Structure 1
């Protein structure tokens, strides 16, 4: 399954396994670990090991995440958005402006790369940008690609109890982001059925 930086960033807000919500970007150290975990997706544009993560960069990434999650909520509408931030979403027009502004922070020039025994590919080069700017621009450009591409039509908010993740639906009947969420949702439905009387009314 294809991975998207935008979806990975949105998923740094997640169910903590104990009825609450965890934030993988809650600390500078956690943010650094998350950037390292995305090394395979970032490697074409950024060397994660060379980026110095501080509170300023953490705040920038969190603000970009707010914008992405706001537009994810708009995408899944009229279905309910993730309950993690449904009541405090950034306005959609502000989210669009923010993502575009961050993407524009790194001027890039497309370059053609065509090895003698391979297929041609397009590379984006920006020799003048610093690593922090390149990281933020890479994250925002991935969000633009995601939201403007066909995968947007398959974005869903997981409907399992207590889950706050968004996911890309990979088959027609998929309702949950992962099997454990499906198991939890089925258990919740079974519990609700058990509370009904044989006649279908609520138990006394």
Structure 2
């Protein structure tokens, strides 16, 4: 075997033996509006780009870190039509609370992904490096948020549910009816 053939064979063997990237995790959120089931939103979490942020959200969906660290039963407290739906405050339910699996707050992981259209999942925050549990899903293109909020996932199914939720919002963000994340799980 020539040196070139041996090197080519070694390269092929090395690349074929290398582990493939695991698939990004997906979670499902069951939502109710005014106490009635509204449907399920399925989200892909970009663990390949934002592993720490994605794992925080995934663990809060499963509740695996304990009952006090779970999205189950928490409201979508802020919905602005033409902009976004926001939830994740499972401590106070009004946008003033929440916490991460890493403690109260954690740093912005990166801003590699920008806001390019509806259905993007991002961390809500009160300024740089103040991520906790609150998140939002965009219902429109919001490029002005790029570099300010960490995008870590996207809606892969259930955008119709997001649009139904959007109809419960107002310009102030106050919801017309209770919109609740009833249960959440990893798929």
What range is the shorter-chain TM-score in? Answer: under 0.3
- Structure with a larger share of its residues in strand: 2
Query: Bigger radius of gyration, 1 or 2?
Result: 1
TM-score normalised to structure 1 length? 0.25
TM-score normalised to structure 2 length? 0.27
- Structure with a larger share of its residues in helix: 1
- Where relative contact order (Cα < 8 A, 6+ residues apart) is larger, the structure is 2
